[in-house]
Amino acid sequence: MADVSASDGTALRSVGAFLGRHGIVVAFGLFMIGFALTNERFIDMDNILGVIRSSTILGVMALGVTFVVISGNLDLSVGSMMSFSTIVVLDLHERIGPELAIPLMFAMTMSLGALIGFLVGYLRLNSLIVTLGMLSAIHGLTLTYSGGQNMDIADQQATWFSVFGQGRVLGIPVPILMFVLLAVVLATLLAKTPFGRKVYAVGGNDVAATFSGIPRARVVFMTYIISSFCVATAGLIQASRSMGSQNTVGQGMELEVLAAVILGGASLMGGAGTVFKTVIGVLILGFIQNGLLLLGLEFYVQYVVTWIIIILAVWLDIAVKRGRLWSPIA
């Protein structure tokens, strides 16, 4: 009898370990099956490509924030920064053309990321406070730059700029190809390079990492550079897709980005997460929103669902760390 109980306990621990490593993939499969059974239009190829395409902007931003979260920090400025990059590239397109507008926009956006990285990495300021303050500051900068006006490209037929948001290669939307390419590059950087191992080390224990000779400040600084590069890429896709933009196009996206990253298994405590699972987290959010709309629910239900997902993801993350669902002192 004791052998049977021990065997059952071992099996349960094995199942728990498997779900701890691959639970997000299992959840994604269950979501897809559930929505497919409730509405046959859900698994239509045009619908699937449409969902992935609409999720690329969120996904590209989440790729960069994954590095920041794994290093043990947060970035709540990405929504405002995306608005800034979108407005800037549209305005510069009209002034100097896309050839110069795109690299200049990347330089300006990454300068903001460098500022945040300096404050958090080298001055060791709290990342939540810094990026929350930068959220408002960059929003004000965007309004100041644009004079409060929305931006549009006047002659949309005379420019190749639309290729980033509207183009197709072999029938596949260019935004999806950009998302996949960036995900592959960043996944390789995080999993296969010394820099990636340093990001995990700093997030796992920054004091131990420092004593091991890892330049903590430089690593944190670089994670914000990567994050701002991804935000600039998302702004480019957004501007190219709509060929115009409001000043608040990225407002509120920082919470969706964080939800996707946490849902993908990145720990708010740092030291855990992968680019691949972040991609799965992004797709789960996209397909949940699409499935809810196909079920006839209003779009604002998505906000409630996103909130529930964030709470559950954080709860499960903490539960895995302490080995139990409930706090022992609750």
Polymer length of the chain: 330
- Give the Cα separation of 163 and 173 in Å (integer): 9
Q: Are 139 and 80 in contact (CB under 8 A)?
A: yes
Pairing of strands 151-152, 244-245: antiparallel
Q: Residue 106: its pLDDT value, please?
A: 97
- Kind plus residue range of the DSSP H or E element containing 21: helix 2-38
Angle between helix axes 78-96 and 127-146 (nearest 10 degrees) is: 30
Check residue 285 and give its pLDDT.
84
User: Are the C-beta atoms of residues 174 and 165 closer than 8 Å to each other?
Assistant: yes
pLDDT score of 257 = 92
| Residue 260, pLDDT score | 87
Tokens coding 208: 């131990």
Counting as low any pLDDT under 70, the low residues of the chain are 1-28, 299, 306, 309-310, 313-330
Residue 199 CA: distances (Å) to CA of 223, 242, 262, 297: 8, 35, 17, 41
CB 48 within 8 A of CB 36: no
8 A C-beta contact, residue 217 and residue 73: no
- Supply the pLDDT for residue 136: 93
pTM: 0.85
Residue 71, C-beta contacts closer than 8 angstroms, at least 6 positions apart: 199, 202, 203, 219, 220, 223, 270
Q: What is the C-alpha to C-alpha distance for residues 304 and 309, in angstroms, rounded to an integer?
A: 9
What's the pLDDT score for residue 323?
60
Domains of the chain from N-terminus onward: 26-320 (1.10.3470)
Largest CA distance in the chain: 80
User: In this predicted structure, what is the pLDDT of residue 79?
Assistant: 93
